[in-house]
Structure 1
């Protein structure tokens, strides 16, 4: 804020210097050359960066300078000088008027943005930094300008004896996909506590998406809207991950030794393609030992292209950061991904990093707690 105010003060010197220089030079040039009309530049320039009050002040100074020039040459009451002064007054008044209109629209836009941000934060709840033995970090990059969420989603909830996590991707991007993403996140938060097994949970989410699409899917897009999802269950006392992939990319698993593996998955169809029962979803399991890190992501990450059309090589890039913590890992990916794409994403992207800390009983046995 201090730098912004200092910058505005420095910019204010430009119209002031213009008024002083034009007034001084006009008295030095031959009498048949009139520089007074150039004073209109001062309020016009001020209106580009300042508010109505400062623009009016600079306009008044410009009018006073024009009057001084006329008085200095003894032609203040001449029609030519009076017309120049009147024109300068009108231009300054118009500049002040448009500044007020701009300020009003800026206040309205700021209010709309604050409401939109509150709504988006309400839909995509921030994940806690820790759930049981699992440390969590998340990153969301929306493709739509001014949007903070879009068609990608993630959610996590504590259940008896463990943690359930979902990461998903609704077909489409940006603001148009928020409704379906909100439905899926709400259904997960409600159903994750009620179903004992992941297949039951996946089937319930599939039914929820199908019902939503039946009610709200446009006829022109019938059968073309769906959502991919990866459901995970991380027991507190069992060093394994239970996963169900509904057409979603597999995660990356980092060991403390720096080895990166891709757990083998048997993906089911995406949610919303067809209503299926729990038997259609196979549980895949992988070890998740103390010190391991699991990276979940959406296809907006691996399908991000550079200027030459090459996809972002996520697995190759994270190999150099696989021994860092979750927050640091996502920070490196964020910076590298934007560098790869030139700062612009064609699709929403979401990442969640999970790190398993040593069990509490292991720390107690060594005389310390997490």
Structure 2
């Protein structure tokens, strides 16, 4: 699921009343200038009307306001100098208004064209992201899930955050990860890893063997010639059984999961972290399988570093465990909705990096 940050553009109808502001300014300046003493000239103030119009209007609106300013300046000249029709001073002011108005119209046309191109790029980017990263199903066996991908508004490039789930005969295997970098290269790396995971996760291979296979699958691609800088993928691979309460996981340099029980979050410490995927060629890592409890009624929170590294206006990172303490929502969708709102409130609606979030619930038995 892809979610675009930032507030939507204000509808055209909501912006139309603002046109009254420059028009009222033109009327006010014209009346005061006509009534002012002969040595006082307020006509140059008319340029403020078309100058502020691009803040809420397009090229046609700017052209209309500029034309009204030119008409007003002409009328002022005719009223104040009826014998000479227009003085040289008024002619210069009219010419200046025409030049300023024309420049602003050109500016608006170029701005709108670039904004349209950027919207198209973002649309294509988000469509590609949804193809590579479809939302998780709401149910995976007995588990309930909710997933969210928040795309950073700072740029149109798509990121490499990833997640996927595969059902097995006894449970669900999941992966959440983050490719270093952005753009199509990161999407390609994410797609390669997700493809390898979906092929291997349903087999009877152990979790350590699965992660080793994933590392080998992406090593060749991440180390190919022509890449700039070091390339790797942080990831956590989990095996969530349907019945047993303990989750098994292998962490490869990724932020640890958080289990929320009765409003109290607990960060699952990783005692033996493995290096990120794609760096296995540097050494032969041992993938230690660790486990933690996940009981009925608990919520399991998985995320990428776009969450924990999100900064507010003062540069403070998002304190995940602190912020979600006391949250009593048991439904993954409700918890994720509150999580999204709280994160966006912390960053004032503008993330610097993409963020992926998954909330998994193990429902309590119906008779409990």
Fold agreement, TM-score > 0.5: yes
The match for 2:216 is 207
8 Å contact from structure 1 (residues 150, 176) kept in 2? no
Asked whether 1:292 is paired with 2:301, we answer no
The within-5 A match list for 1:1-370 is 4-5=11-12, 7-72=14-79, 73-74=81-82, 75-141=84-150, 145-146=154-155, 150-171=159-180, 177-194=186-203, 196-216=205-225, 218=227, 221=229, 224-255=230-261, 260=266, 262=268, 266-274=272-280, 280-302=286-308, 313-321=319-327, 324-337=330-343, 349-358=355-364
Name the SS for the 2:115 alignment partner. helix
Q: Name the CA shift for 1:144/1:212 in 2 (closer, same or farther; >3 Å).
A: farther
Superposed displacement of residue 249, structure 1: 4.3
Instruction: String of CA shifts for 1:239-295, please: whole Å, max 9, x gaps.
Output: 442322334444233445968473775443332222599994343344433323222
Equivalences, count: 358
8 Å contact from structure 2 (residues 122, 156) kept in 1? no
Instruction: String of CA shifts for 1:294-340, please: whole Å, max 9, x gaps.
Output: 22234554566778887655445434226643234344444555666
Name the SS for the 1:231 alignment partner. strand
Cα distance in 2 for residues equivalent to 1:309 and 1:93: 42
Cα distance in 2 for residues equivalent to 1:181 and 1:281: 21
Cα distance in 2 for residues equivalent to 1:121 and 1:129: 16
8 Å contact from structure 1 (residues 252, 263) kept in 2? no
Name the SS for the 1:329 alignment partner. helix
Structure 2: stretches of 5+ with no match in the other structure: 1-7
8 Å contact from structure 2 (residues 263, 324) kept in 1? no
Cα distance in 2 for residues equivalent to 1:98 and 1:264: 54
8 Å contact from structure 1 (residues 144, 175) kept in 2? no
Structure 1: stretches of 5+ with no match in the other structure: none
Q: Name the CA shift for 1:174/1:116 in 2 (closer, same or farther; >3 Å).
A: closer
**TM-score normalised by the chain length of structure 1:** 0.79
Greater shift, 98-107 or 175-184, is seen at 175-184
Q: Name the CA shift for 1:190/1:147 in 2 (closer, same or farther; >3 Å).
A: farther
Cα distance in 1 for residues equivalent to 2:204 and 2:328: 34
8 Å contact from structure 1 (residues 63, 85) kept in 2? yes
Q: CA RMSD in A?
A: 3.8
Greater shift, 342-351 or 22-31, is seen at 342-351
Q: Name the CA shift for 1:28/1:149 in 2 (closer, same or farther; >3 Å).
A: same
Instruction: String of CA shifts for 1:68-104, please: whole Å, max 9, x gaps.
Output: 2222231325444344333333332332222222222
Cα distance in 1 for residues equivalent to 2:315 and 2:88: 66
Greater shift, 162-171 or 276-285, is seen at 276-285
Cα distance in 2 for residues equivalent to 1:208 and 1:192: 13
Q: Name the CA shift for 1:59/1:161 in 2 (closer, same or farther; >3 Å).
A: same
Q: Name the CA shift for 1:45/1:180 in 2 (closer, same or farther; >3 Å).
A: same
